[in-house]
Chains A and B, each alone.
Chain A
């Protein structure tokens, strides 16, 4: 042991030393999405500043991990990519830093302040929006017969479209679609869902297709199930469907009807040292400016969160196809869109989830 200890001390020192160098850890979702960030943001940022960026694909557990890090008093992440609902929770829990959009984020090239450029998408004081994505349905073009579905309610129509469907194993989005297909108007959905009767109504509607549903919990499940022919239609994130259709050339098409818009963006964890905080702020200032957000759309079909970025969206970097028609925000795709209500789900998530899981287990 006596001989070992100096070595251990040296090793410990080396580990500690490397963390203080020009390095930052950015947490994201992994896969094609992280790759788009790597090429659009990380590489140009490293080139400009010399900071080395370490990727960590932990966004799915970001809230729990940040809470654990915060309790342990050792936050090792510098910038974290989360969905808006998680950003709101992190802000509520005091785990994310508040950002003043106008002073800490870049203005649009024409001088429009950031708060106006992002507009309504700044859903939390801690949240820096990055992309608009949607949860929508894809279907197998070869398995739906001569009348491809155009309406989201095709999901509930097992007579016309027999076969399995894949839905996410959680109440969010499914309850809304169920109510819409049970005749509730878009604007009334959350008012109805607030009541016990409304929740039962949504579950009763879902009950009609319960035996035909494969439930997914990872975003990659539906694309795989569609490719295998296990399901004839299924919900997932629009970018995943884009890659099934355009990159893997599977016989799959998008059903944009009643797509649910959601946001994804950055937060900076609370409790960073001054030096790390400055570097994180420098990164988000750079990575969320108008050009950078438009650049990301070259690699993945998610819409940039700034109004000023939309006209700059060009072609896919590798496939050379126009990206604008694949954006969830494209007018042709966004004819009927549904807005995810963050506040509603922050309140009702625990309650409805318990009911939903109890219904699933029946």
Chain B
């Protein structure tokens, strides 16, 4: 007790002030905690943050035109695309010099594919012209204007140069414009011709159908979760396995099984015809359309709804219901006024989970969706793997990500995110 009689700050055993000693040990604690989670942080950073940022970046990045045709881009700056006249010889000469370098590095065809997204025909124009431009000499063969036009008519069209000029910026909004059925032209953004508009329609359809699927999951999942939560443990566990079993089956298997069930010569139609409920000549069409997608996806996503609902309902004491009833509430009132409000956090968590999963689904719609039941993600997959228009795919993905974040924010405003629980 001699410390209390001393003047000055309290000292720790090693003679430093207690305050500093405490701060040091807290810091050590924090560093240790940080070190412990650092593998996870590192993993999340590498596998999550970096790909998303690079995707976001890809949707605006457009350096390929400048990198491949640096001199042409500079020369085109003094040309007025709206004048209706071809650029002068300077541009053509610069273009030949750029192309000779590009052909040597085999990047001219890559630029052709890029510009072909904007103007049909560019791909073969660059590929074919490349073979002949290769033989030109940048000094002796001048002037080039007529020679190039002779190699390919396209070089004599104002539109060709206008496209190159329009898309020569380092960062472009072109992909985002394409993603909402518009395009970048010399005169600024313009709407795509009507017969090419599809993406906005797909965005709406994706949102609508995801909402419908979420709604069906709530309707079907709520009673199941309620039964699970109120049965004795042993029976509940057995039933739980039935909920989880599809969860452990491959997604493709489940989707293909729906195909067998739903097709016109499938199990459901066969049974209905056999029972005489449906005429053999008028079998139901319940696959390769929106109905097929809704049925299959509701089934596939149902466990994601039931599990959070179940774990929330388990924590609601049954005594509350009994108390309500003993105070004179009818069965319905007791459920609606006492039980249901307490289960809302489970519905919220399940709905967010199902909706966000549904909005990005693509395998199931691809297999059972036909033409009217496909989602925007099917288009993203097409642009990633078939058309290789990764910029557009990235822009579509970014819009989808933004839509999810906005909906999440709206949910937080309306229901409150604190009101979401995955369990007790």
Q: Is A92 a contact partner of B109 (Cβ separation < 8 A)?
A: yes
**Could you say which residues of chain A place their CB within 8 Å of the CB of B107?**
94
- Residues in A with CB closer than 8 Å to B322 are none
In the assembled complex, the Cα of A343 lies from the Cα of B263 at a distance in Å of 38
Q: A93 contacts B385, CB within 8 Å?
A: no
B32 within 8 A of A: no
Distance in Å: Cβ of B145 to nearest Cβ of chain A: 24
B387-419 vs A, Cβ < 8 Å mask (1 yes, 0 no): 111000000000000000000000000000000
- Distance to closest chain A CB from B108 (angstroms): 9
Residues of A within 8 Å of B389, CB to CB, are 350
Cα distance A350–B214 when bound, in Å? 34
Q: Which of A30-38, A110-118, A351-359 contacts B (4 or more CB under 8 A)?
A: A351-359
Taking a contact as CB atoms under 8 Å apart, the answer to whether A89 and B113 are in contact is yes
Closest A residue to B125 using CB positions: A347
Out of B113, B263, B371, B382, name the residue touching A230 (CB < 8 Å): B263
B77 beta carbon closer than 8 Å to chain A: no
How many Å from the CB of A94 to the closest CB on chain B?
5
A214 to B285, CA, bound (A): 11
- Docked complex Cα distance between A338 and B157 (Å): 32
- Contact of B198 with A61 in the complex, beta carbons under 8 Å: no
In the bound complex, what is the Cα–Cα distance between A94 and B198 (angstroms)? 31
- C-alpha gap A358/B264 in the complex (Å): 26
Contact flags (1/0) for A74-112 with B, using CB distance below 8 Å? 000000000000000101111000000000000000000
* Candidate in A350, A353, A357 with the most chain B CB atoms within 10 angstroms: A350
Give, as a whole number of angstroms, the nearest-CB distance from A196 to chain B: 9
**Taking the complex as formed, is A287 at the interface, i.e. its CB lies under 8 A from any CB of chain B?**
no
For the complex, what is the distance from the CA of A230 to the CA of B286, rounded to whole Å? 13
Given A94-B110, A228-B265, A358 and B197 contact (CB-CB distance below 8 Å): yes
* B187-244 at interface with A (beta carbon < 8 Å): 195-198, 201-202
Q: CA–CA, A63 to B384, complex, Å?
A: 10
A349 at the B interface (CB under 8 A): yes
Q: A214-B288, A343-B124 are in contact. Are A353 and B109 (CB under 8 A)?
A: no
Taking the closest CB of chain A, its distance from the CB of B416, in whole angstroms, is 37
Please encode chain A, from 177 to 204, with 1 for each CB lying within 8 Å of some chain B CB and 0 for all others. Answer: 0000000000000000000000010000
**Chain B 351-392 against A: per-residue CB contact (8 Å), 1 yes, 0 no?**
000000000000000100011101000010010111111000
Are B384 and A64 interface neighbours, CB within 8 A? yes
Q: How far is the CB of B253 from chain A (nearest CB, A)?
A: 15
Cβ of B266: which chain A residues have Cβ within 8 Å of it?
Answer: 228
* Given A230-B265, A361-B198, A63-B388 contact (CB < 8 Å): yes
Contacts A94-B106, A215-B288, A230-B264 given; does A354 touch B370 at CB 8 Å: no
> In angstroms, how far is the closest chain B Cβ from the Cβ of A124?
10
- Interface size class, chain A: 20 to 34
Provide the residues of chain B in CB contact with A93, threshold 8 Å: 109-110, 113, 388
User: Does B116 reach chain A (CB closer than 8 Å)?
Assistant: yes
Let me know if B16 is at the binding interface, CB within 8 A.
no
**CB interface residues, A 126-168, toward B, < 8 Å:** 164
CA distance A320 to B117 in the complex (A): 49
| B80-116 contacts to A (CB < 8 Å) | 105-107, 109-110, 112-113, 116
| B172 on interface, CB distance cutoff 8 Å | no
Verify A358–B265 contact, CB threshold 8 A: no
Report B389 CB to chain A, min CB distance, Å.
Answer: 7
Query: Judging by beta carbons under 8 Å apart, are B109 and A361 in contact?
Result: no
For A67, A348, A361, the residue with the greatest tally of chain B CB atoms inside 10 Å of its CB is: A361
Q: How far is B386's CA from A361's CA once the two chains are assembled, in angstroms?
A: 19
Q: Is the interface of A mostly helix, strand, loop or mixed?
A: helix
Q: Report if A215-B370 is in contact (Cβ < 8 Å); known contacts: A89-B113, A229-B265.
A: yes
Interface-centre pick from B106, B195, B388 (highest chain A CB count, 10 A): B195
Would you call A351 and B120 a contact (CB within 8 A)? Answer: yes
Could you tell me if B263 and A361 are in contact, using CB atoms closer than 8 angstroms?
A: no
The verdict on A217 contacting chain B, using a C-beta distance below 8 Å, is: yes
Q: Does residue B121 face the partner (Cβ distance < 8 Å to A)? A: yes
Q: A94-B110, A228-B265 are in contact. Are A361 and B387 (CB under 8 A)?
A: no
Task: Output the least CB separation between A2 and chain B (Å).
Answer: 12
| Known A-B contacts A92-B110, A355-B195; A348 and B202 likewise in contact (beta carbons under 8 Å) | no
Within 8 A of B (CB), among A335-350: 343, 346-350
Contact A92–B127 (Cβ < 8 Å): yes
Closest to B117 in A: A350
A354:B385 contact, CB within 8 angstroms:
no
Partner of A347, one of B120, B379, B384: B120
B198 lies within 8 A of A358 (CB): yes
State in angstroms the CA–CA spacing of A294 and B150 once bound together: 44
B311 on the A face (CB < 8 A): no
The residue that A64 contacts in the complex, of B113, B374, B388, with Cβ under 8 A, is B388
Specify which chain A residues have a CB less than 8 angstroms from the CB of B112 in the assembled complex: 92
Nearest CB on B from A247, distance (A): 21
Chain A residues with CB under 8 Å of B117's CB are 350
CB distance from B337 to the nearest CB of A (A): 45
Instruction: Check A11 for interface membership: any CB of B closer than 8 A.
Output: no
CB within 8 A of B116: which of A63, A94, A350, A358? A350
- Does B123 sit within 8 A of A, measured CB to CB? yes
A192-233 Cβ-contact flags toward B at 8 Å (1 or 0)? 000000001000000000000011010000000000111000
Residue of A nearest to B54 (CB): A71
Q: Which residues of B contact A215 (CB under 8 A)?
A: 288, 370-371
Known contacts A63-B385, A92-B127, A354 near B371 by CB under 8 Å: no
Residues of B within 8 A of A61 (CB): 385
A319 within 8 A of B: no
Q: Does A307 contact B (CB under 8 A)?
A: no
Complex: chain B residue closest to A203, CB-CB? B195
Instruction: Say yes or no: A353 contacts B265, CB within 8 Å.
Output: no
Find A349's partner among B109, B366, B387 (CB 8 Å cutoff). Answer: B387
Q: Are B124 and A353 in contact (CB under 8 A)?
A: no
- Cβ of A54 under 8 Å from chain B: no
**Contact partners of A91 in chain B: CB under 8 A:** 109
Task: Report yes or no: A354 in contact with B198, Cβ–Cβ below 8 A.
Answer: yes
Q: Which 7 pairs from chain A and chain B are nearest by CB?
A: A92-B109, A358-B198, A351-B120, A64-B385, A360-B371, A354-B196, A94-B106
13 A-B pairs within 8 Å (CB atoms) are namely: A60-B385, A61-B385, A91-B109, A92-B123, A93-B109, A93-B110, A164-B264, A169-B371, A214-B370, A215-B371, A358-B197, A358-B198, A359-B195
Q: A92-B127, A347-B120 are in contact. List 6 more A-B contacts (CB 8 A).
A: A92-B109, A347-B121, A347-B124, A350-B389, A354-B196, A358-B197
